[in-house]
Amino acid sequence: MTIKEINPITVLSFRQQVTLTGLQQYVGVKAQELYREAVQHNLGVMGPVYWGYYGMDGKPETVFTLEICLPVAGGENYKGEFALKQLGAFKCLSDWHNGAWSDFPATYGRLFQEISKKQYIPSGQCREIYQHIDFVHEENNLTEVQVGIQ
């Protein structure tokens, strides 16, 4: 686990109010749409897809904000389907998750245990950065999980 300070980053962004049980409908779909939009508008793709969670507490019925982002460059005159915005600086505790996304609770558990142990204050924001995605062989997935801290 590592403490990181992430610099601001320009992204194409999709935001939606959702519950944990409603996330599945966006898996793979929104990322493809973001990549397609970037190519159609001649935006440079500058990194992997981010999923950001604001106000998620781990309970299936809690409504929170999901933000799926693709880092891009350019787009000063962008007028498309998604928002072009800058994510602000982000301080977090980060760890790597190897394998199936259904095992995320264990990774988040370790991160929150460390946050409690070190007495950090959670910011209410988490990010997942999908470094490698494999829908066929989930054991090959590589995701950086970041929990925001103050």
CB crowding 19-34: b at 16 or more within 10 Å, else e: ebeeeeebeeebbebb
Q: Are 110 and 1 in contact (CB under 8 A)?
A: yes
Residue 75 has pLDDT above 90, yes or no: no
pLDDT band at 116 (very low <50, low <70, confident <90, very high): very high
Across 103-130, average pLDDT: 97
% of the chain surpassing 90 pLDDT: 94
pLDDT in tens, 11-60: 999 999 999 999 999 998 999 999 999 999 999 999 999 999 999 988 89
Question: Structural domains in the chain?
Answer: 2-149 (3.20.80.10)
